[in-house]
Amino acid sequence: MIIKTRKEIPSSEITPESVYRERRKFMKTGAKAAFGVAGAGLLSSAASAQTGDALFARAPADINLASKPDWLVEKAAMRTDAPASGPFNTDEELTPFEDVTTYNNFYEFGTGKDDPARNARDFSIDPWTVEVSGEANKTGTYTLEDILNPHTFEERVFRLRCVEAWSMVIPWVGFSLGDLLKRFEPNGDANYVQFDTLVDSDQMSAQRSRFATIDWPYQEGLRMDEAMNPLATIATGLYDDILPAQNGAPLRLVVPWKYGFKSIKSIVAIRFTKNMPNNTWRDLQASEYGFYANVNPQVSHPRWSQASERRLPTSLFNPRRIDTMMFNGYADEVASMYADMDLRRFY
């Protein structure tokens, strides 16, 4: 398949990985100097409604970065580096920013891969709240600042493997999901955690469609041991900026050992449950999309093999086909959670 690229941004203008690394170090140092001793989240709510485009100018003009509250831009600038080695980094070539932000599955904005980038241009994350409910001691409605301010952001470079058999390598910015969930003090009956995506048909045009097959909101879930695994990440940004709207601003899940549809976007609800929760794709076609959705080259999708994948960007003459790794290459960190499970049955 030939991946479409926007004519306004030739491939020669996409930032190479080496340039990105050096630029990121420069921007981080400059941001610390600019902000001085000001701590993240100390800006007033009025100031947080303003944008901070002057600090991060990486994104082309036609890539929608949603609204950019100053406090969030500041916090993103103070992130720590990815480790030099280990599961939070890889020496694989990064997927260009252009492809990461224009080849997306986000059905709230349309079913085409380029629909989200085109249809999310007016998306706003200010204000944003997250409702926490279920089997936990500290439930309630939290602002985005409440959710993010206690956490230190860090860069995490993960492989992303889609169930459609394409993949990317993305430098995310975020923190471990488990560190967030612990703050809500889940109780002994919290065996799973469920997430909901925003429902806002004014901003998400495909939610207005008469032909939508999804019963909104889009929902996903994890078993608690999966959610507490350090690799499970709340992502707040990628490359040199906060998350673009089409990539799930302001909060998305990144579960790198699972197929991409588990990494739910634009989260507005977290629910701790005793029983296995609903997840959207299993509801739509249970024979094709299971609850666990672990990357497994030995178990084919009913309509195609999962033994290999296309590493984007690709073209007709350069398909970049590579072998798929068990658990997307993260087996050392996650395989023990499934040691007693039949992964053909629990797919």
> Structural domain tally of the chain?
1
Q: Is residue 309 a part of any domain in this protein? A: no
pLDDT for 62:
57
DSSP letter assigned to residue 69:
B
Q: Is residue 312 a part of any domain in this protein? A: no
Q: Is residue 346 a part of any domain in this protein? A: no
pLDDT by residue (tens digit) across 127-182?
A: 999 999 999 999 999 999 999 999 999 999 999 999 999 999 999 999 999 999 99
pLDDT for 77:
87
Question: In angstroms, rounded to a whole number, what is the distance separating the alpha carbons of residues 76 and 80?
Answer: 9
Q: Is residue 6 a part of any domain in this protein? A: no
Q: Taking the mean position of all CA atoms in its chain, how far away is CA 143?
A: 19
Phi, psi for residue 142 in degrees, rounded to 5? -120, 140
CB neighbour list of residue 169: distance below 8 Å, 6 or more residues apart: 90, 92, 93, 94, 95, 157, 158, 159, 160, 311
pLDDT for 119:
94
The closest alpha carbon to 227, from 249, 258, 198, belongs to 258
CATH of residue 57:
3.90.420.10
Q: Is residue 313 a part of any domain in this protein? A: no
Question: In angstroms, rounded to a whole number, what is the distance separating the alpha carbons of residues 117 and 104?
Answer: 8
pLDDT for 63:
66
Question: In angstroms, rounded to a whole number, what is the distance separating the alpha carbons of residues 14 and 28?
Answer: 20
For residues 314-335, one letter each, b for 16 or more C-beta atoms within 10 angstroms of the residue's C-beta and e for the rest, the string is beeeeeeeeebbbbbbbeebbe
User: What pTM does this model have?
Assistant: 0.84
DSSP letter assigned to residue 311:
E
pLDDT for 240:
74
Q: Cβ(161)–Cβ(170) under 8 Å?
A: no
Residue showing tokens 């249970």? 286
pLDDT by residue (tens digit) across 238-277?
A: 997 899 999 999 999 999 999 999 999 999 999 999 999 9
Question: In angstroms, rounded to a whole number, what is the distance separating the alpha carbons of residues 238 and 61?
Answer: 16
Specify burial of residue 242 (Cβ count, 10 A radius: 0-12, 13-18, 19+).
Answer: buried
Domain that holds residue 83: 11-283
Q: Is residue 65 a part of any domain in this protein? A: yes
Residue showing tokens 């380029």? 114
The closest alpha carbon to 199, from 298, 77, 299, 107, belongs to 107
Radius of gyration, alpha carbons of the chain: 19
pLDDT for 45:
28
Write the DSSP assignment of 238-271 as a string of letters: ETTEEPPGGGTSS-EEE-TTB-GGGS--SEEEEE
Q: Is residue 103 a part of any domain in this protein? A: yes
pLDDT below 50 — which residues of the chain?
Answer: 1-19, 21, 23, 25-61
Q: Is residue 326 a part of any domain in this protein? A: no
